[in-house]
Structure formats: C-alpha cells, structure tokens
Amino acid sequence: MTEVPRLPVSGGCRNTPILKQRGQREVFCGLTGIIWLHRKMQDAFFLVIGSRTCAHLLQSAAGVMIFAEPRFATAILEETDLAGLADAQDELDKVVGELLARRTDIKQLFLVGSCPSEVIKLDLSRAAERMTQKYAPSVRVLSYSGSGIETTFTQGEDACLAAMVPVLPETDTRQLLLVGALPDVVEEQALSLLGAMGIGPIKVLPAPRADSGLGIGPNTVFALTQPFLGDTHAALERRGASHLAAPFPFGEEGTTAWLRTIADAFGVDPATFERVTQAPRARARKAIAQASEVLRGKSVFFFPDSQLEIPLARFLTRECGMDAVEISAPFIHKGIVGPDLDLLAEGPTLSEGQDVDLQLDRCRAARPDLSVCGLGLANPLEAEGLATKWAIELVFSSVHFYEQAGDLAGLFSRPLRRRDLLSVDAPSLCPKNSGGEAQPRGQSPEGAVS
Amino acid sequence: MKLTVWTYEGPPHVGAMRVATGMTGLHYVLHAPQGDTYADLLFTMIERRDHRPPVTYTTFQARDLGSDTADLFKTALEDAYARFKPQALIVGASCTAELIQDDPGGMAETMDIPVPVIPLELPSYQRKENFGADETFFQIVRALAKPMARTAQITCNLIGPTALGFRHRDDITEITTLLSDMGISVNVVAPMTASPADIARLGAAHFNVLMYPETAETAARWMARELDQPFTKTVPIGVGATRDFVAEVAGITGLAPYLDESRLRLPWYSKSVDSTYLTGKRVFLFGDGTHVAAAARVARDEMGFDVVGLGCYNREMARPIRALAKDFGVEPVITDDYLEVERVIEALQPEMILGTQMERHIGKRLGIPCAVISAPVHVQDFPARYSPQMGMEGANVLFDTWVHPLVMGLEEHLLHMFRDDFEFHDAAGPSHHGGHAPKPQAEQGGQPPAPAARPPEFAGKMKEQSAASLVWLQEAERELKKIPFFVRGKARRNTEVFAADRGVAEISVETLYEAKAHYAR
C-alpha cells in the first residue's frame, strides 16, 4: 500500500515569512529558455529582437556553443532602428520574410522581446498578428517577452507557453494536459505510467510540432511538470482548464504524490495505482539510497536561479537527508509550490529575489556543505572552499520521475564525492596554492590613487 | 536590423569587463538589467577565474523604468564603493541602460566618491567587444597616467593583455623573459595584473610594448603623444616576427639585439623531412586582425603552407588585413557574419583552417582540419600547461598546434595504399586522434532535451550552385571516391576549376587526371 507523505510535525514552510532583499540579482534573463525550447519544438524558430548582448548571451548561456544552424537567431537592433519606430516594424517584416523564405520547415515563429525592444516599446504582438495573417496557414507567428527586465531565466519558458495557450483550438474532451518542456525520454516515462493507470487522452504542452491537434477547454485538467509556469497556469485557467496542484515529480515521494493527485482526479483505484507504481518506486528508493549516501546530514544552501529550488529542497531534505540552510527562488508562487512548501520542514530561511552580495555574506557565514548556484558564482565559491552544484544543469538534465530520481540525487552528491576523491592540495609545502588567492579582489594594500 | 546567428564579439561592455576583470583594485558599476549578469560566467567558467568579476550590475527591472533607475544606479555605486573599497571605479551602461539615458558618468560626478570615477561611453548599437576593451583601457590610462621621471634602468610596459584574452596569460611570461634577456625589465603589465596605482606609474617606463593592438592601440597612441613613450609595432608571433620585434626593441632602446634561440625548435622541425608533407598545404586564415596577420606570415614563411584566403572579423583591422591580402594575392574576407565565413571556406576547400572556435566547428562540418589561432575563446583556449603564442616558445607551440590536426606524413601514404582497409577508411580520421571519427554532421552541444532532425544548411546550397553547370560522370565520381578524404575536397575543386576554365561540361576520369597533372607540384 502506498503511504501518504507524512507532513512535517512542526508544520510546513507555507506560512514561513519570506526574506525579500533588493539589490543585484545574479540571474539569467528569460531568453535563456530558448536554448532548450528550440530543441523541444522541432518546427519552431525563435527570433529574438534585441541587441548584440542578447545574441552573445544565447551563445554563451549553455556553457557551450551549439554550432549546427540553430533554430534561433537574433535580429540585432542598430542605430537606425532606434531612430524611428516605424522603420523597426518594416525592418522586422524584412528579416522575417528572409528567414521564412530560407527555412520552409518552420511552422511556428516566436518573436521574442528583449530588454532593448521593450524599452523602445517595439510592439511585437502587433507584428505577430500582422505576420500570422500574412503567412497563414503555413506559419503561426506568436510573440512573448524573454527580457531581463520582465523575466528571470525559466520564466522565459513560462512566457513562451503562456503565449501559445490563447491560440489553441477549443475542445470539450475530458483530457489530461501535462505542462512543461521535458526531455523526450522523461516525458515518455510519465505518459506510460499514466497510461498504464488507464488515464487518457493525455496531451503535452509544448507539443513537439505545431500540428499536434492539441486543444483546450473546460474539461481539460492540467498538471504542471515544472514549478516556474505561473503565467501559463493563469492562461490555462482563463481557458477554463483546471489545475491539479501537487508536489513536483522530483524523487520517489514527489513523483508518487504528483501521480496520486492525477490518479485521484481520474478515479484510478488504489490497487491499480499500487500495481503501476510499485516496481518503479522501489527502484527509485534504492537508487536514491545509493546516490544520497554522501548527502545525509549535509547542509545545502540554494541561491535563486531556476525556481526549481523549493521542490528540490523538499527532495533533498526529505529523501536524501540533507539540512537546508537557505532556500531562495527568484519568485515564490504559492499556488504552484504550496504543496511542496507544506512538505518542507520549518527551519531554513526562505528568500525571494536577491541581493547577491548580502546573500554571499550569509552563505559564507553558514559555510554550507553544498551551495546550489549559477555559473557566475560556482568557481568563486569553490575557490573559497565551498562545494557547489551549478543550477543550470538541473534544467538541462533528465531529473523528473522515478527512473531519474537516483540521477537527481547523484547530481548533488557528485561535487561532494569529488572533493573526497581529490588529493591535490599540499598546504604544508605550498600555502598560497590552496585554491584561491589569499588577497581578496579590490582590497589592494597599496591604497588609493590620487 | 541585422539577422545574426553567432557572433564573434560580444557587446562593448563585455570588452570593458575584460579590462576590469584583468585588473586588480578596480571596480566596474554597470547600469544594466539582470540578464546581463550572464557575462560573469564567461570569466568564471571559460577562463576558470576563482573570483567574481569586479562588476556590480544595477539589475533594474521593468517596474523601475521611468521612476527610480537613476536612484538605483546611485545606490549601487555607493554600495559597491563601500563594500569593495576599490582604488578607482569605472561606470557605464549596457545596451538597455544606454536607451534610458540615465547618464551614469554624470550621476557619479555629483556623488562624493573619494576615489577616481571614470565614466565610459560605449555605444552598444554601433561598436563591439574589442572596441569596448580598447576604449575602456584608454579612458583609464588617460584619467590616471601622468608624465613622470623615467626609471633609471631601461623599462617598458606590456600593454594589451586582458581577461578572457587568447593566451594572454602565457604571452606575458614569454615576452617578459625575452625582454629580460635583453636587459629590459617590465615596469607595468596592463590592463591584466595592473591596479589603478600601477596605471598611475605607466609613465615611468621608457617605451611600451603593444602586445595586442585590438585592446590597447588607442592607449598606446595616447601615451606616445602625452607621455612621450614610443611603442612597438611588431607583434612577436612566429620566428621571423619575434626576431623583427627584438630588432625593433633594440632600435627603440639603443641596446644590442639579443634573442635566446636555444629552445627554439620550429625552424628545424619545419626543415626535417617529416614536414615535407606540409609543403603547399592550402590554408585559410580567419580571426582577429592581429593574430591573422601574424599567422599568415608563419604559415607561408615558416611552415611552407599556401595561404588561399584570409580575413578578420574586427572591422577596426580591415585596412591592414586588406593590405596583407593584397600582398598574399588573395581576396580579404572582412566580415562578422559566421555564415559568410562558412560559405567562403566551402568555396575555397582549403586543406586546413587556421581560425577561431567558430571556424573549428565549420571545419568539423566540412571535414576540414582546423587549428585555433584567435579569440573568441573557449574553455579549451585556457590550457593548464604553458602555451604562449608569442616568442620562441610561442613559435614551438604554433608548430605543434598547427600540425596536430593534420594527417601525418607517412600515414598519408598508407591511406593512399590501403584505402579499402577496414581501419584506413574515410571515416576513421587521423590515427593519432584516438577513437574519434570525424562525422560529417555538426556537433550538437549542450545536451539538448530532444534530438532534432538536422536543419537544412546554407552551405549545401552554395556547393550546388557552384557545381550546377558541371556534371560528374559516374566513373569519375567513383574514381574521386578512391582519393583519400582529406585531399578529396581539393581534388574535386581543382578538377571543377580546371573543367570550367576549359569549358568542359562533363567531368570524366580523364578530366580528373588531366586536372591532377595540371595541378601537380
């Protein structure tokens, strides 16, 4: 019999006061989502209307460059575009015309707004409407903002999916919709588990192709697979669909709770649920137990990055035996992560947004065993002797559901195992080479210049 | 509006960051939205820096626009000064902040910051990364460097190295040693390693070594004018250029030229018989102007290659690169359009590319070996070992790096002799690159969530067009396939040019061998 997750005796974190500081936020903008979205939607092209900075971000964000001709590009605004806005719309028509003529395989084109395009108030939704009329029915043109003044990292995916919802056809079919871009192999696992319980039809958003026949309506119930889809959640509810709030499917417990919420909504009997989930649950528990051995009793500190922080903290504290010191997320949407907060024992600081310098001070004071942070902070923290896990890998890797639960724990344990394995420091012979410069940057003893 | 897939240079504020991050005791307050903080990872990940770049971003959001972005900047500047206590600050705007016109320089002036605050004007919608670095370094030098008494001993400054530079770290060591051998010590290396206090004493040196014109030429010219310091014009990459550099330094200082060549191996390695197979290898060069110009000379004079094309992505160097191309009798390629570079390479079918990481990927796609000679940088361009480009050791490094991707001498013959051997087949690739078989497909990096069908490429079309009027007869096509893969592209191209020149529309086995005889060397 599957047990219901035990709630923390102290009460969960849902009502814990949230620390909000305002200062430098060390996070990506929403454009970054294009890196995985363009692989997921195979007939879509993402055209960023922005600056050279946007193009540079896209090619640097993944940490590697993807050198096939990608299905994304930047229309770089130039001095002439900034002078008059009428020109910018004409220029955009020209660029899109060239692009679609060359890439006849494109069925969905996203015009993606950036910081500069928003500051000059370039109306991309108008452009998208105009272009949809022009290129219908072969190409659908949509727009959304991935700008850093509006969106943080994974919110780019949210904005993209939310933009797709209003144009989906209406349907009255009773159906389950899974929302969030997942690696194909993971998505198939979810579909097969739910299918084995007799749940169907099941649709996914985003679909791999525009012509997948996805419709939406009041008989659609949806479950989110990613915790950063607040706007998409709202857009789906506006179309009459109803949300199944559940802990996110990370780890054995999270996956079971997520599946159970859906199973209950579709009237799956307990025996069927047990039959379908028993074997993978046992496998997941075993894999987690192995991978989390070095994590037990260790402390973890989350910098805000992908918005996966709260569900992951729930997984690490409840299933891997870690202690959370601080859990911060760019935004905390309680309608979405509430069930995870309920399961998270009180104790850690919850924070929303960031003042990176103050947060680094807290992290240094706490000296956690593991810090989960962005790529800009990882090496500097390692140099201070703090083990880190880069958050971006959590968005790019297969980490959801039972079969990946062990891998997910492994992503966190690897940095700690590596520290145990390495024997490269020779402090007695070479005190200055212990992993960083002794003198902090910017505090040169030579004093000020006249 | 310009459609861009990949870019060779970042925006100008990234150039400013390269200067700031290379220096110590300097802090950069950048008026920018939150997404611009991605630039930190260039330094912490690609260059593996163990400190955050000394940059504070204001990270304004949409709700701040029109209300208090200016206050946000002031607070950020105050906080940054209080926390980091730098000797000097630079302040500026990224592309988005440039549009909201808050004037960071003007605001900073009204505040009581007790150290020099240097405003930067970097036009994001016109210029790029190298300009940003060059201009930033110039503004810092102009603000802080003063005429002063020269050091008693002959000294120089090494100028141009920055964070995220292509082998700058090791070039500094190599050139410092080379100058020391001549009896010249280094006064200041800047921007990399220098503090604002060091910049203030640039004037004590007798002359400047301009290592990378891309990032320090404006400052070098200013110091020549205002501090009366001559600067070197030769970039010492390659044997000949290093010897010329020593002669130039001797001319400036009046010291006797001296160059320790005891560790120099390139000349003998190039003369040794194994290198015979390098003769006339057709190479295409692309990168920043400085590295391309230096590499072109090494390729022709020191490796015995045939330079079939060259170009640069930084327009600031267009004039010297055009002149160089004329000297080499080739068409210059001055562009920052990656796809255009790919088209040129595809049309030229060189046997080797000396380029950037971008060309390395073009080479992978087209099956052409490539060695990297220039930024933009990749984590591979920061090797753990000592690996300079300049000076005597730099020349040795160039020899090794450029020969490594090629099929070695005798292996080339073996491939001819046993072309149907199960190990010596087209896809096996050079045997010393263990286990890797060059795939004709592009490398797909970044662990994408879903494998996607390979999109159609521009490059393929180009080939179709150029060969459209020519027909390869079946027999000839079969014969062409017998030619080893690493020379097949050249054979195809030569034959087509030969046929086109003679108005031959159909290529037979005969044509193939006539062309071979024609191009025999």
Q: Which domains does chain A have, with CATH numbers?
A: 18-25+285-422 (3.40.50.1980), 30-151 (3.40.50.1980), 175-278 (3.40.50.1980)
Q: In Å, how far is A28's CA from the nearest CA of chain B?
A: 4
Q: Is B467 helix (H, G, I), strand (E, B) or coil?
A: coil
Q: Which amino acid is at B335?
A: T
| B33 contacts on A by Cβ (under 8 Å) | 29, 115, 147-149
User: Is the model's pLDDT at B66 over the cut of 80?
Assistant: no
Q: Rounded to whole angstroms, how far apart are CA atoms A314 and A311?
A: 5
Hey, is the C-beta of B66 within 8 angstroms of any chain A C-beta? no
> Do B160 and B232 meet the contact criterion of CB atoms below 8 Å apart?
no
Please judge whether A379 and B50 are an interchain contact, meaning their C-beta atoms are less than 8 angstroms apart.
Answer: yes
Q: Which amino acid is at B269?
A: Y
Chain centroid to Cα A302, Å, comes to 14
User: Is the model's pLDDT at B510 over the cut of 90?
Assistant: no
Residue from the list A28, A81, A449 with its beta carbon closest to the beta carbon of B144: A449
| A448 contacts on B by Cβ (under 8 Å) | 87-88, 114-115
Quick one: average pLDDT of A420-435? 68
Please judge whether B38 and A36 are an interchain contact, meaning their C-beta atoms are less than 8 angstroms apart.
Answer: no
Please judge whether B45 and A375 are an interchain contact, meaning their C-beta atoms are less than 8 angstroms apart.
Answer: yes
User: Is the model's pLDDT at A113 over the cut of 90?
Assistant: yes
Quick one: average pLDDT of B386-397? 98
Q: Is A320 helix (H, G, I), strand (E, B) or coil?
A: coil
The average confidence (pLDDT) of chain A is 90
Hey, is the C-beta of B206 within 8 angstroms of any chain A C-beta? no
The DSSP element (H or E) to which A381 belongs, if any, is: helix A375-383
* Burial letters A330-349, b for 16+ CB under 10 A, else e: bebbeebbbbbbbbbbeebb
Please judge whether A380 and B44 are an interchain contact, meaning their C-beta atoms are less than 8 angstroms apart.
Answer: yes
Q: In Å, how far is A419's CA from the nearest CA of chain B?
A: 17
CA-based torsion, B178, B181, B183, B189: positive or negative: positive
Q: Which residue has the higher pLDDT, A441 or B22?
A: B22
Question: From the CA atom positions of chain B, what is the Rg in Å?
Answer: 26
Q: Where are the beta strands (DSSP E) in B138-180?
A: 155-159
| B442 contacts on A by Cβ (under 8 Å) | 67-69
pLDDT of residue B461: 34
Instruction: Nearest chain A residue to B114 by CA: give it.
Output: A448
Chain centroid to Cα B477, Å, comes to 38
Confidence of residue B67 (pLDDT cuts 50, 70, 90): confident
Q: B372 CB contacts (<8 Å, ≥6 apart)? A: B355, B356, B357, B359, B360, B378, B380, B381, B401
Q: How many CA atoms lie within 13 A of A124 on its CB side?
A: 27
pLDDT of residue A4: 66
| B7 contacts on A by Cβ (under 8 Å) | 52, 55-56, 59
Q: Rounded to whole angstroms, how far apart are CA atoms A370 and B406?
A: 44
Predicted ipTM?
0.91
Q: Rounded to whole angstroms, how far apart are CA atoms B500 and B38?
A: 51
Q: Rounded to whole angstroms, how far apart are CA atoms B31 and A144?
A: 24
Please judge whether A383 and B444 are an interchain contact, meaning their C-beta atoms are less than 8 angstroms apart.
Answer: no
Q: Which residue has the higher pLDDT, B231 or B503?
A: B231
Instruction: Nearest chain A residue to B5 by CA: give it.
Output: A73
pLDDT of residue B494: 83
> Do B141 and B126 meet the contact criterion of CB atoms below 8 Å apart?
no
Hey, is the C-beta of B115 within 8 angstroms of any chain A C-beta? yes
Q: In Å, how far is A250's CA from the nearest CA of chain B?
A: 17
| B362 contacts on A by Cβ (under 8 Å) | 67
User: Is the model's pLDDT at B454 over the cut of 60?
Assistant: no
Q: Rounded to whole angstroms, how far apart are CA atoms A47 and A149?
A: 18
Q: In Å, how far is A5's CA from the nearest CA of chain B?
A: 30
pLDDT of residue B402: 96
Rounded to 5°, the CA angle B493-B497-B500 comes to 135
Q: Structure tokens of B477? A: 């096509």
Residue from the list B25, B40, B458 with its beta carbon closest to the beta carbon of A69: B458
User: Is the model's pLDDT at B146 over the cut of 90?
Assistant: yes
Q: How far is CA A378 from CA A74, A370, B80, B196, in A?
A: 28, 11, 21, 28
Query: Which has the closest alpha carbon to A68: B354, B369, B339?
Result: B339
Q: How buried is residue A166: exposed, middle or buried, by Cβ count under 10 Å (0-12/13-18/19+)?
A: exposed
Could you give the residue ranges of the DSSP H alpha helices within B298-441? 318-328, 338-348, 357-366, 391-403, 409-417
Q: In Å, how far is A32's CA from the nearest CA of chain B?
A: 9
The DSSP element (H or E) to which A175 belongs, if any, is: strand A175-179
Give pLDDT tens digits for A330-386. 999 999 999 999 999 999 999 999 999 999 999 999 999 999 999 899 999 999 999
> Do B138 and B12 meet the contact criterion of CB atoms below 8 Å apart?
no
| A22 contacts on B by Cβ (under 8 Å) | none
Confidence of residue B65 (pLDDT cuts 50, 70, 90): confident
pLDDT of residue B521: 54
Please judge whether A56 and B7 are an interchain contact, meaning their C-beta atoms are less than 8 angstroms apart.
Answer: yes
Q: Which amino acid is at B466?
A: S
| A149 contacts on B by Cβ (under 8 Å) | 33-34, 60-62, 65, 96
User: Is the model's pLDDT at A95 over the cut of 90?
Assistant: yes
> Do B506 and B471 meet the contact criterion of CB atoms below 8 Å apart?
yes
Q: Select which of B68, B79, B274, B327 is catalytic.
A: B274
Give pLDDT tens digits for A23-74. 999 999 999 999 899 888 989 999 999 999 999 999 887 655 555 568 899 9
Backbone angles phi, psi at A143, to 5 degrees: -135, 150
Q: Rounded to whole angstroms, how far apart are CA atoms B68 and B366?
A: 52
Q: Which amino acid is at B266?
A: L
Q: Which amino acid is at B110?
A: T
Q: Is B274 a catalytic residue?
A: yes
> Do B497 and B511 meet the contact criterion of CB atoms below 8 Å apart?
no
For chain B positions 448-477, those within 8 Å of chain A (CB to CB) are 448-458
Q: Rounded to whole angstroms, how far apart are CA atoms A392 and A381?
A: 16
Q: Rounded to whole angstroms, how far apart are CA atoms A293 and A417?
A: 10
Q: Structure tokens of A284? A: 């997941």
Note the pTM of the prediction, 2 decimals: 0.88
pLDDT of residue B518: 81
Question: From the CA atom positions of chain A, what is the Rg in Å?
Answer: 23
| B443 contacts on A by Cβ (under 8 Å) | 67-68
Of A216-225, A433-442, B89-98, B104-113, the least confident: A433-442
Hey, is the C-beta of B20 within 8 angstroms of any chain A C-beta? no
Please judge whether A441 and B50 are an interchain contact, meaning their C-beta atoms are less than 8 angstroms apart.
Answer: no
Instruction: Nearest chain A residue to B128 by CA: give it.
Output: A52
Instruction: Nearest chain B residue to A79 by CA: give it.
Output: B125
Give pLDDT tens digits for B223-277. 999 999 999 999 999 999 999 999 999 999 999 999 999 999 999 999 999 898 8
**Cβ-based contacts under 8 A for chains A and B:** 288
Give pLDDT tens digits for B421-448. 555 455 555 555 544 444 434 333 333 3
Q: Which residue has the higher pLDDT, B354 or B360?
A: B354
Rounded to 5°, the CA angle A17-A21-A22 comes to 150
Q: In Å, how far is A77's CA from the nearest CA of chain B?
A: 5
> Do A52 and B127 meet the contact criterion of CB atoms below 8 Å apart?
no
Q: Rounded to whole angstroms, how far apart are CA atoms A319 and A155?
A: 27
Q: In Å, how far is B7's CA from the nearest CA of chain A?
A: 7
**HEC secondary structure over B288-331:** CHHHHHHHHHHHHHHCCCEEEEEEECCHHHHHHHHHHHHHHCCC
* Burial letters A372-398, b for 16+ CB under 10 A, else e: bbbbbbbbbbbbbebbbbbbbbbbbbb
Range with the largest mean pLDDT of B12-16, B411-415, B416-420:
B12-16
